Amino acid sequence: MRLRSVVGSVVTMAVVNLACGSGPEAAPSETRIAWADSLQSAQAKAASERKLVMIEFYASWCGWCKKLESRTLADERVVRALAAVVPVRLDAERGGRGDADRMRVRGFPVIVFLTADGREVGRISGYLDAEHFLNELSSILGRQ
């Protein structure tokens, strides 16, 4: 009887972990994206290079954020395409909280595209696989 309870608990935890996106496949990975140190430095660089700023708002507990990072933003095609923007990552619950509030970020992940002077030109809300992300990115880049 006790073994059944233990097995049931283990299965329940596995299901919860998968549903929350915290299984092994959701672990963050390092990408080759050259992330700016701050929104201000990203805007300065974007102004000098005549590019858009791409802000990835995330939360440390967010499973979909980790999946976006480990799959979509690690995809070679995405890494190459992001050379057209100046990317910056902001933790919306820590150092990036003020910017997230100002830009009305209500869920995670959210990627906001700005001109160097701070005008929003597009956003991607939620997780997208690489193919769909590239389609959205292409559409947003076409708006500048």
pLDDT at 81 over 90: yes
Does residue 91 lie within any of the structural domains? yes
pLDDT digits (tens, 9 = 90+) for 82-91: 999 999 999 9
Q: Among 9-23, 77-91, 117-131, whose mean pLDDT is lowest?
A: 9-23
Is 12 part of a structural domain of the chain?
no
Q: How far, in Å, CA of 66 to CA of 114, rounded?
A: 23
d(CA 89, CA 79): 14
- Domain membership flag for residue 126: yes
Domain span at residue 35 reads 25-141
Q: Rounded distance, CA 66 to CA 109, Å?
A: 9
Instruction: Output 132-135 pairs: Cβ under 8 A, ≥24 positions apart.
Output: 133/72, 133/75, 133/78, 134/77, 134/78, 134/81
**How many independent structural domains does the chain possess?**
1
pLDDT higher than threshold 70 for residue 3: no
CATH number, domain of 93, equals 3.40.30.10
